[in-house]
Amino acid sequence: MSSSHTPETITIKPRHPAFDLRAALATNWHGGDPFKTAFFNALSLTFPVGEKYFIDSVRAFQKQIDDPKLSQEIRGFIGQEAIHRREHTKYNEILCGARGYAGAAFEQGLQNRIDERDAYSAHLRLMETVAFEHLTALLAHGLLTDDRWLDGADPTLKSMWHWHAIEEAEHKAVTFDVYRAVGGNMDWLKQALPLITRQMFKDILSATWMMLKADGQQFNPVIWLRGLNWLVGRQGVLRNLSPLWRDFKRADFHPWDHDNRELISMWQATAEPELLAA
């Protein structure tokens, strides 16, 4: 039996899109909303450091995987994440150059924390990666199924975030399947998810604060109340993901229990040709 449980119809392959982000990133590109713009920009700031960590965590076990299907998916995962890292590095450089944000210092703080994980075992680093990948898959699902995530956003940024979300959906089970194949402790993984969730959103909101502070808006109650209501209010975009987050606790859970194949096929048929032709 294959160690991979990604559907046969899903091909995990790196794509090479090109996005011209300079004009948009100099503005509050998310419908003029400072909080939503800063939230997505903060998410981008976490990616280059984080995705290298994810790649390194999986590579540490690559030679232990003897299932050809999962081995191919690992290569696709690494390729996709490497391109995400490249594109978000460009994004962050343009953003911070245009708006004067201390992005380099923020990323260095993330890197310093990762460097402390040298004392962790390879299994623990992979466990963290699996939890982070579950969270990014949930954000991708939300972004692809709920228009409120990017309603009113600049079309180019919208296209970029949709591309990233599709690839997160495609490879969402790779690290999970690797962790299980190499004997990772599933109870520890489930216990780690709340801690990783807290850390991820602490980092994102810290960077959001940093950007709003640079714009002189960090104490604007209207911006924060409206933004947090959009994010975690009674009808907040994150609230709709809570049942999917809780599914991770099930003993028989697998990431493809949340089946995105129809969304991926629709994107491939409509948006991908135009994206790759640009």
Question: In Å, how far from its chain's centre is CA 203?
Answer: 13
- Find out whether 18 and 278 touch, Cβ atoms under 8 Å: yes
Q: Domain extents for the chain? A: 22-277
Distances in whole angstroms, Cα of residue 128 to Cα of each of 42, 123, 138, 145, 196: 20, 9, 16, 26, 7
pTM: predicted TM-score of the whole model, two decimal places: 0.96
pLDDT tens across 23-39, in order?
999 999 999 999 999 99
Q: What is the mean pLDDT of residues 97-112?
A: 97
* 118 has pLDDT over 80: no
What token pair was written down for 246? 């809780």
- Find out whether 274 and 19 touch, Cβ atoms under 8 Å: no
Name the residue among 187, 201, 73 with its Cα closest to residue 132.
201
- Find out whether 213 and 51 touch, Cβ atoms under 8 Å: no
- pLDDT-derived band at 277, boundaries 50, 70, 90: confident
Of residues 274 and 87, more confidently modeled: 87
* 141 has pLDDT over 80: yes
pLDDT tens across 84-98, in order?
999 999 999 999 999
| CATH number for region 22-277 | 1.10.620
